[in-house]
Structure 1
Amino acid sequence: MWSHLVSDHTLDELHDFAVLLGMPGRAFDRDHYDVPETVHARAVSLGAEAVSSRELLRRLVDAGLRSRKRHLPR
């Protein structure tokens, strides 16, 4: 099982928190980090909030950090 780690402020905040968790750079995907279940409890203990996917998306959009996947023309 996986979670998404995002920031509702800045990408710098997100990257700093990911470093604190020991997340590798390859776990970053456009606007979030993919966080394995084994790291979830530690992230929450360090201040991350567990929210619904709807709330996560709302916070990303409100912060101007939402990055959609771009599809290449065929």
Structure 2
Amino acid sequence: MAVYIDDAVHPWRGQRWGHLLADTLEELHAMAARLGIPRHAFQNKPSGAHYDVPADRREHAIALGVLPVSRHTDRALLKALIANARAQARGEHD
């Protein structure tokens, strides 16, 4: 089981943001808590269950064991992670 973070490429509120995804929701929430991201920031959307992470926290997440995923070189893995996150949002996985 693992937690992943994609490239911080999404601009919003003057920053770049990435997505924190995980094999299980339990792992996802636990890592978000370790990163100081409040539970109310959880995004359980049809696009996939995730937390948004600002670029300045990405390296800290990686230092804590989160696996970086690049949309440029890890396309198949990222596609599988997004499919899993969407299933989680629909309640099909924990």
Structure 2 unaligned runs (5+)?
1-15
Alignment of 1:53-72 (within 5 A): 53=71, 54=75, 55-61=77-83, 64-66=84-86, 67=89
TM-score in terms of structure 2 length: 0.59
- Higher percent of residues as strand: 2
In the other structure, the counterpart of 1:49 is 67
Give the superposed CA RMSD: 1.8
Structure 1 unaligned runs (5+)?
69-74
CA deviation after TM superposition for structure 1 residue 24, in Å: 1.6
Structure 1 segments of 4+ aligned residues over 3 angstroms from their partners = none
Pairs aligned (count): 65
Higher relative contact order (CA 8 A, sep 6+): 1
